[in-house]
Structure 1
Amino acid sequence: MTGQGEHTSHGGNPSHFEAMAAAYAGARPDYPAIVFETLRKFEVIGKDKAVLEIGAGTGEATATLVGAGCRVTAVEPGPRLAGLLAERVPQANVVAGRIEDLDLPACAFDAVLAATAMHWVDLTTTLPQLHRALRPRGRLAVWRTTFGDASVATPFRRRLHEIASRRAAHLNTDADVRGIRPTMRELVATGHFAAHDSWEWPWSIRLTADQIAALFLTFSDWSADEVAEARAAVHDLGGSVVEHYRTILHLLDRVPDPVISTAG
């Protein structure tokens, strides 16, 4: 569905989040509690767990990980975002840089987590790095929220479709596929990790016109003019709308002796 954010016609640009650093923290909805409940259930997070977080942003997940007792090393490529993260979650060890460029210590982490970040990462480079950095029974957890549930049609989503349909490059047939990347298939492709399980949770939230505008401004594929139209649509529909989202979590196990793929 168009209008989901970060994966429609403008293609997406990770530097956008750095420019939006000051506004980002208050604009994005929290992740559903069931994500962290599931990670606790499978002992991915918990007291004294050494966790590496990729693309931590301003700490939308980091604060919860610290609150769960994890010892968090949070990697964030944007200097402004990393600075805000260090202020917001001082208990975390914040590293400013791209995960691909870091020399990670071997066997240093119990888990690697990526919340709405792994689709920006070069998996061919990063998955072997993470395998080396994880302890023998380590796990990789990757999740992402799709902002717009294609199975739920609403008047607001129809308005968003009208806005996005004006883009010349809008008719990308893989828009929905890119919206849920990386897939489990992509995450196991190098042979360093094996699928443990995947979950998908639908959820909803009521947002005002101002909240919609703040949220959509953080999307790297929405222009300021389009965001203004989205805000106006909420006003037209009574001042607030219920948005239907989906969060997908992939959990993987570190493979002891990976069979390295030579495909491609």
Structure 2
Amino acid sequence: MRPGNHFESMAASYGTARPPYPSVLYDTLVEQGVLGPGRRILEIGAGSGEATGELVRRGSAVVAVEPGRELAARLRRSCPEASVFASRIEDVDLPARRFTSVVAATSMHWVDLPRMLPRLGQALEPGGLLAVWRTVFGDPRVWTPFRREVHEIVAHRRLSAPPHDPLDPRPTVEELEVGGSFRLVRSWRWTWQIGLDAHQLRALFATFSDWQDPGELDAIQAAAAAQPDQVTEHYVTVLHLLRSTTWM
């Protein structure tokens, strides 16, 4: 699934360093029948519970899978209502037709999709739903002085990954529909803003798996500190909702 050492090393601060998902996301998931009383949810890559607590508060019965043992332990303490498994989703024995929904909050890009999508389809009841969402940290359509500094820092890297549309973060709809186990219902995209100071921005960037150079983190903090006020960040949260075709 995902490189565990980085996220495990951030276990104590990950949940507070990352801003929460916008409430409209959860409202939409309730409206679409993903969450709510009587919904049995499998959550993939739950972390320390950034989404899990809200899933439970919305009345859902949650089975959360998290490969990091320290993250899973924190999740058990913070959200005892959820059943938590410290494991990669690829290693979990998933019973057939057990869940009404599968959700993945900023985690599905670490999953072996060709292997797991058919298994997730089988774990869902007929017509069950798969909700995959992720926040784009830095709306590419909005340029601020701070974001220009971020661009300059990244420009000095030797990037090996091919360019992609930042407003279509992985996994894309095409990747989620590969193999035919799921079919897209609809996608949503929400823009939102948040004010962060230099220390908050350094802590946030440190949670990103591709921002591990201390010198780059120093540069991020310095760029934020040089602004006259808090940095206003412009973010985009993308949600893809798909329906299982396995039992149709």
The structure-2 alpha-carbon separation of the partners of 1:14 and 1:243, relative to structure 1 and needing over 3 Å to count, comes to farther
Runs of 4 or more off by more than 6 Å in structure 1?
A: none
Alpha-carbon distance in structure 1 between the residues aligned to 2:166 and 2:175: 12
1:131 maps onto 2:121 in alignment: yes
Superposed CA deviations along residues 33-75 of structure 1, whole A, max 9, x for unmatched, are: 1111110101110012100000000000000000001000000
Q: CA offset at residue 210 of structure 1?
A: 1.0
1:200 maps onto 2:189 in alignment: yes
Alpha-carbon distance in structure 2 between the residues aligned to 1:33 and 1:165: 34
Residue aligning to 2:177: 188
CA contact (8 A) 1:109 1:135 kept: yes
- More off after superposition, 32-41 vs 179-188: 179-188
Residue aligning to 2:205: 216
- TM-score w.r.t. structure 2 length? 0.95
- TM-score w.r.t. structure 1 length? 0.89
Alpha-carbon distance in structure 2 between the residues aligned to 1:42 and 1:157: 35
Residue aligning to 2:83: 93
Larger relative contact order (Cα-Cα within 8 Å, sequence gap ≥ 6): 1
Residue aligning to 2:220: 230
Q: CA offset at residue 15 of structure 1?
A: 3.0
1:41 maps onto 2:43 in alignment: no
Quick one: which amino acid aligns to residue 170 of structure 1? Answer: L
CA contact (8 A) 2:136 2:167 kept: no
1:242-257 superposed matches below 5 A: 242-257=232-247
Q: CA offset at residue 134 of structure 1?
A: 0.4
Q: In structure 1, which of residues 55, 60, 69 is the aligned counterpart of residue 50 of structure 2?
A: 60
RMSD: 1.6
CA contact (8 A) 2:140 2:166 kept: no
Alpha-carbon distance in structure 2 between the residues aligned to 1:60 and 1:74: 12
Superposed CA deviations along residues 199-258 of structure 1, whole A, max 9, x for unmatched, are: 111111110111101101111111222111111111111242001111100001110457
Alpha-carbon distance in structure 2 between the residues aligned to 1:71 and 1:139: 15
1:156 maps onto 2:146 in alignment: yes
Alpha-carbon distance in structure 2 between the residues aligned to 1:179 and 1:156: 22
When the two structures are aligned, how many residues end up with a matched partner? 246
Quick one: which amino acid aligns to residue 194 of structure 2? Answer: I
Q: CA offset at residue 177 of structure 1?
A: 5.5
Indicate the percent of aligned positions where both proteins have the same amino acid. Answer: 50
Residue aligning to 1:8: none
1:17 maps onto 2:7 in alignment: yes
Alpha-carbon distance in structure 2 between the residues aligned to 1:161 and 1:179: 19
Secondary structure of 2:37's aligned partner: coil
Alpha-carbon distance in structure 2 between the residues aligned to 1:243 and 1:151: 12
Residue aligning to 2:134: 144
Quick one: which amino acid aligns to residue 78 of structure 1? Answer: G
1:108 maps onto 2:98 in alignment: yes
- Structure 1 runs not aligned, ≥5 long: 1-11, 259-264
